[in-house]
Amino acid sequence: MKKANVLFIDDEKDMLTLMADLLETRGYSVITADNGADGLTLAKSHQPDIIILDISMPGMDGGEVAAQLKETAETKGIPVVFLTGLLSKDIEKNNRHMVGGHIMFAKPCEIDALAEQIDKLVPVSTE
């Protein structure tokens, strides 16, 4: 079975490495970017199935990246999941990962819960 192609955007290089490793061990194909501008470029060129995006990044923050993704024809249909240190575990738990209409996970996230959300947003292909 083929799982989702994931673009993970986060300015913390350790987080990029950790999350890419954890997602790849679960069968996902992962590409990473350590800033919003590079993430936008990769989103356009690679057309991932889903984007996991940090909110708090220098330069272009996650909100700006998400807005530009939605305004671009090639990327507007790609689901975005936010992964952030700005969200507490209590808020995440009480709101079931939905905050302000956006799917959000608090850092550090439960990888199984994140994988479950990815699979809900991007059905597994049997190709």
91-125 residue pLDDT tens: 545 555 554 567 888 887 889 989 999 999 997 66
Q: Extract the runs of DSSP E, i.e. beta strands, from the chain.
A: 5-9, 29-33, 50-53, 80-84, 98-99, 102-106
Q: What is the pLDDT of residues 56-104, one digit of tens each?
A: 888 898 889 999 999 999 999 999 999 887 655 555 455 555 545 678 8
At 29, is the pLDDT very low, low, confident or very high (cuts 50, 70, 90)? very high
How far is C-alpha 66 from the chain's CA centre? Answer: 10
The overall pTM is greater than 0.75: yes
As a whole number, mean pLDDT of residues 39-62 equals: 93
What are the structure tokens assigned to 49, written together? 């199935």
Give the start-to-end residue ranges of the domains of the chain: 5-121
Q: Which amino acid is at 126?
A: T
* Predicted pLDDT of residue 105: 85
What Å distances lie between residue 65 and 10, 27, 36, CA to CA?
11, 26, 6
Q: How confident is the model at residue 35 (pLDDT cuts 50, 70, 90)?
A: very high
CATH code for the part of the protein at 5-121: 3.40.50.2300
- Residue 51's closest CA among 68, 31, 34? 31
pLDDT on residue 42? 97
| Pick from 19, 14, 88: nearest CA to 51 | 19
Tell me the mean pLDDT in the region 46-63: 92
The continuous run of DSSP H or E covering 66 comes out as helix 62-71
